[in-house]
């Protein structure tokens, strides 16, 4: 595949939306002050998360930063093999989410590489997230659904043998043509 501009445009769009929403929350809200949106089900509440999902890994922020950087590189690597615009969009959404939270880890207080992620969407006091988290979970869910329905999103790696059912002239090819 050649690089699809949609991959980069979607990723940049998610990063802009994520960072703009975080700047708005930082400028508008006091930490821990809760603002109901849908009763107790959904509220806006500024919190700073040094850990991962559900605040797991507090105290290991630097390690989470390294993992986030590795995930970002991995997404870019695999996205090069996207077989369709849909696949490029899914990988772009995932990359945007990963980069959105990585920016926080790298450049927010308390220090470089140990920054706390700005979270503000409180889901019924179960967990608090942000736009980047929604993008990451959405991209992961789309990959799972594609897998369940056997939708191939990636071209085989260079040098990897193609599945027998993917070769032209096979029974699988004949079925796909109708």
Is 40 catalytic? The answer is no
Is 173 catalytic? The answer is no
Query: Per residue, what are the HEC states of 19-83?
Result: HHHHHHHHHHCCECCEEEEECCCEEEEEEEECCCHHHCCCCCHHHHHHHHHHHHHHHHHHHCCEC
Token pair, residue 33, equals 């002050």
- The 8-class DSSP code of residue 151 comes to -
Q: What's the alpha-carbon Rg for the chain, to the nearest Å?
A: 19
Measured distance CA(92)–CA(124) in Å, rounded: 29
- The 8-class DSSP code of residue 5 comes to H
**Active-site pick, 18, 40, 104, 119:** 119
Instruction: Give the closest residue to 7 by CA, choosing from 82, 69, 70, 110.
Output: 82
**Active-site pick, 133, 163, 166, 173:** 133
Catalytic center residues: 119, 133
């Amino acid at each position: 595949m050649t690089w699809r501009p949609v991959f980069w445009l979607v990723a940049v769009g998610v990063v802009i939306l994520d960072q703009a929403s975080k700047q708005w929350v930082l400028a508008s809200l006091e930490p821990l002050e809760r603002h109901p949106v849908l009763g107790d089900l959904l509220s806006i509440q500024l919190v700073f998360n040094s850990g991962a999902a559900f605040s797991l890994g507090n105290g290991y922020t630097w390690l989470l930063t390294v993992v986030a950087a590795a995930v970002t590189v991995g997404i870019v690597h695999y996205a090069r093999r996207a077989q369709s615009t849909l696949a490029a969009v899914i990988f772009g959404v995932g990359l945007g989410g990963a980069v959105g939270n990585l920016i926080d880890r790298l450049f927010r207080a308390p220090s470089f590489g140990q920054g706390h992620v700005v979270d503000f969407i409180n889901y019924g006091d179960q967990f608090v997230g942000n736009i980047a988290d929604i993008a990451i979970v959405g991209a992961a869910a789309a990959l799972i659904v594609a897998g369940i329905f056997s939708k191939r999103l990636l071209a085989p790696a260079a040098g990897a043998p193609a599945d027998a059912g993917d070769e032209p002239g096979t029974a699988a090819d004949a079925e796909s043509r109708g």
